[in-house]
Amino acid sequence: GDKAFAQFLADEIKEEKKIQKHKSLPKVSGGWELEVHGTEAKLVRKIAGEKITVTFNINNSIPPSADDEPQEEQKPDEQEPELTSTPNFVVEVIKDDTKQTLVLDCHYPEDEVGHEGEEESDIFTIREVSFQPTGESDWKDTNYTLNTDSLDWALYDHLMDFLADRGVDNTFADELIELSTALEHQEYIKFLEDLKSFVKCQ
């Protein structure tokens, strides 16, 4: 059984490498520096007196496919639909002269992805906003967190503009999807390779 499993994995890896779009991770324009730790990625950008970091994790970032119908047998030449990774991402804005970090929790609404040509709609939304003490990795539950569900639209628009002024706009969000999808695929291939060695290990 293990031999067949290892063979299957080897074929699968070959296939996945064939469809891999990016041999190296795509860049995000606008002077962002990328750090990757396993499934977590961090983009950092410094502008006058501020440091902006965007963090996301590719785990569970691929939305479930819309048609959960059992697949008809696929003809060999049919392409499987492309999986796209749309992770939640957290934007932190740190001003040099304060001890506070403004944290904005953003996500891609599931029904928004794929509406090409609608200029005015944003492809991501801000879900929550809070202040966190700079330099602390754990979020404090005792800090007030603003949920945007019931937020004044004018305030929400200003928050979106605030992000856009710092380079977090639709173009950025598109490139983040591209980056995240490439990273997810790379990790998936790596996982298959690790699984193959694990299965073959006697």
3-state secondary structure 80-108: CCCCCCCCCEEEEEEECCCCEEEEEEEEC
Pairing of strands 100-107, 125-133: antiparallel
Task: Quote the CA–CA distance of 56 and 39 in Å, as a whole number.
Answer: 8
**68 - beta bridge partners?**
none
Identify whether the C-beta of residue 199 lies closer than 8 Å to the C-beta of residue 9. yes
CATH classification number, 1-59+83-111+119-197, choose in 3.30.1600.10, 3.40.140.10, 3.10.280.10, 3.40.50.300: 3.10.280.10
Least confident segment among 5-9, 142-146, 167-171, 191-195: 142-146
User: Phi/psi of residue 62, each to 5°?
Assistant: -100, 115
Predicted confidence at residue 140, as pLDDT, reads 67
CA distance to 77, 101, 108, 179, per residue, from 96 (Å): 55, 10, 29, 28
Predicted confidence at residue 104, as pLDDT, reads 96
> What is the pLDDT averaged over residues 121-150?
84
Identify whether the C-beta of residue 99 lies closer than 8 Å to the C-beta of residue 74. no
Using N-to-C axis directions, what is the helix angle for 2-19 and 170-200, rounded to 10°? 150
Predicted confidence at residue 71, as pLDDT, reads 46
User: Is residue 74 predicted with pLDDT exceeding 50?
Assistant: no
Predicted confidence at residue 23, as pLDDT, reads 83
Predicted confidence at residue 202, as pLDDT, reads 66
User: Is residue 132 predicted with pLDDT exceeding 90?
Assistant: no
Task: Quote the CA–CA distance of 84 and 113 in Å, as a whole number.
Answer: 10
> Over the chain, what is the mean pLDDT?
86
Residue with tokens 């060999």: 76
- The string of pLDDT tens digits covering residues 93-109 is 999 888 789 999 999 99
Q: Give the chain's length.
A: 202
- The confidence band for 51, taking pLDDT boundaries of 50, 70 and 90, is very high
Total-model pTM: 0.84
Least confident segment among 13-27, 104-118, 146-160, 174-188: 104-118
Predicted confidence at residue 21, as pLDDT, reads 85
Least confident segment among 36-50, 67-81, 164-178: 67-81
Predicted confidence at residue 118, as pLDDT, reads 44
